[in-house]
A and B are shown apart, each in its own frame.
Chain A
């Protein structure tokens, strides 16, 4: 692997060498010993020779002896300094390698091998490290296999579930349309209910298929240069049909939008979903605002309704699959419960963000961003069984312990902005230290804790983290 090469190739660098405390200490120690030892030796040699050799007190001889003495001192000091340098390097280099390798592990690169040949405890540490790394790599691989098996299973079962729907739907529609004779009013009602639910079942299966695609990075985008205003306008016009049923007005506010490369169908899919939700949760005769604005690096879309709003508790979980707002456990709003999860999958696979801002009783505003450049290399996004809520809980705890009672509010604020990503939190902590709200050191502790939470998500072994901490300590000392 490249990484291994990188590690071994590390060239000697004077600056780094002096920055390393171990190197400085050992070299200094050797230089002191190297000066003191010969100094003492020569001092005795000098005093003995002066007292025992007759005529040694003559100035010439004293000069000569002094010069020889200084020469010896300097030479030995240089020598011991050099030996100290080599010795300290032989200790600090493998430690540095271990440190770098551990950093790689933290990033999730488990296929890393250290080659420390010092024939001492450090070599054994290196070997233990290699074993730990390879077992982590194995765990990671097993996990990926389970993951892909899950996705595969989802995809296959969804296809299999879909095939019986075809004859069911055909027969039901034949009944409904009188192919098999006239129906009584009650029979018609019954058939209507069956058809409605068959369609719903089919929608759920289709959504499952979509999720299996998102999770397997098999989501297909059809990018082409489009005028965003057209797509937004057409989608809004299409949704107006549904809005009219509840006498709801759709208001469109468009910036001057650039022509960018994007998939109009996917964009429309997300917008339809959000507008559809907004209609569902709006009162008769109210207004829904659709705003589209160009920002520096992306386009910001938002759909704002004046409906009943969403509680903070529900706001975190609303993008999870099958999560329906508690109050509506009757599921009177229909739908598959997968719409927002799919939206999140589509938005995030294009490196965008999707979030909600809401106050109960005062409506909700769903926003998402679309980067100006399309992402061609689609990454798998975890939609099902996401650990999001678990992580958020842990982050919330850290906020409370680091910032006291203020922490909870701050956490909720960030969460509502959907800014709980590692990078978001790091820049938030930076802003705290810059405003002297917390000290720099405390900021670093905070960052470490956040980092640990996210590392756990990557299933990095906890022990490894403490191992890394120890190494860091070792380096610092």
Chain B
């Protein structure tokens, strides 16, 4: 059974790139274009991992993560991890990793693999 990853980013090119990379590596990918979309999709379907952008229009990420309770979250953002930490985003227990944009393809694959398996 393929593991499913929800990719949340307001930029379609980023979503598409991540989808191509992850699908090639054997994952199923669902896309969400912003916070609202993400909340809606998390409610209706079970995911194994959420890749979540930090700066998006609409609902602030701080609110979005409150709706994601039982799935692991990896942030991917141009914001630095220290800033994310300062905003209190990394305190939630299921936030497991932080991917600095622009990321390396190999890093993305590796982080997803490690976090989805254990």
Residues of A within 8 A of B (CB): 159, 162-171, 173-174, 177, 179, 202, 220, 222
Report whether B106 and A166 are in contact in the complex, using a CB–CB cutoff of 8 Å.
Answer: no
Report whether A179 and B78 are in contact in the complex, using a CB–CB cutoff of 8 Å.
Answer: no
Report whether B78 and A170 are in contact in the complex, using a CB–CB cutoff of 8 Å.
Answer: no
A163 to chain B: which residues have CB within 8 Å? 11, 78, 101
Report whether B105 and A166 are in contact in the complex, using a CB–CB cutoff of 8 Å.
Answer: no
Inter-chain CA distance A220–B80, complex, in Å, is: 12
Report whether A166 and B20 are in contact in the complex, using a CB–CB cutoff of 8 Å.
Answer: no
Inter-chain CA distance A179–B25, complex, in Å, is: 10
Report whether B24 and A170 are in contact in the complex, using a CB–CB cutoff of 8 Å.
Answer: no
Name B's interface SS: helix
Using A179-B20, A179-B21, A179-B24 as known contacts, say yes or no to A170 and B105 having CB atoms under 8 A apart. Answer: yes
B82 to chain A: which residues have CB within 8 Å? 220, 222
Inter-chain CA distance A317–B77, complex, in Å, is: 36
Report whether B78 and A167 are in contact in the complex, using a CB–CB cutoff of 8 Å.
Answer: no
Residues of B within 8 A of A (CB): 11, 13-14, 16-18, 20-21, 24, 78, 82, 101-106, 108
Report whether A159 and B17 are in contact in the complex, using a CB–CB cutoff of 8 Å.
Answer: no
Q: Kindly provide the distance from the CB of A352 to the nearest chain B CB, expressed in whole angstroms.
A: 22
A173 to chain B: which residues have CB within 8 Å? 104-106
Report whether B106 and A170 are in contact in the complex, using a CB–CB cutoff of 8 Å.
Answer: no
Q: Kindly provide the distance from the CB of A210 to the nearest chain B CB, expressed in whole angstroms.
A: 11
A171 to chain B: which residues have CB within 8 Å? 17
Report whether B17 and A165 are in contact in the complex, using a CB–CB cutoff of 8 Å.
Answer: no
B105 to chain A: which residues have CB within 8 Å? 170, 173-174, 177, 179
Q: Which of A167, A177, A179 contacts B11 (CB 8 A)?
A: A167
Inter-chain CA distance A202–B104, complex, in Å, is: 13
Q: Which of A159, A166, A168, A170 contacts B21 (CB 8 A)?
A: A170
Using A162-B101, A220-B82 as known contacts, say yes or no to A177 and B13 having CB atoms under 8 A apart. Answer: no
Q: Kindly provide the distance from the CB of B12 to the nearest chain A CB, expressed in whole angstroms.
A: 9
B13 to chain A: which residues have CB within 8 Å? 164, 167
Inter-chain CA distance A163–B17, complex, in Å, is: 13
Inter-chain CA distance A163–B14, complex, in Å, is: 9
Nearest-CB residue, chain B, relative to A167: B13
Report whether B21 and A162 are in contact in the complex, using a CB–CB cutoff of 8 Å.
Answer: no
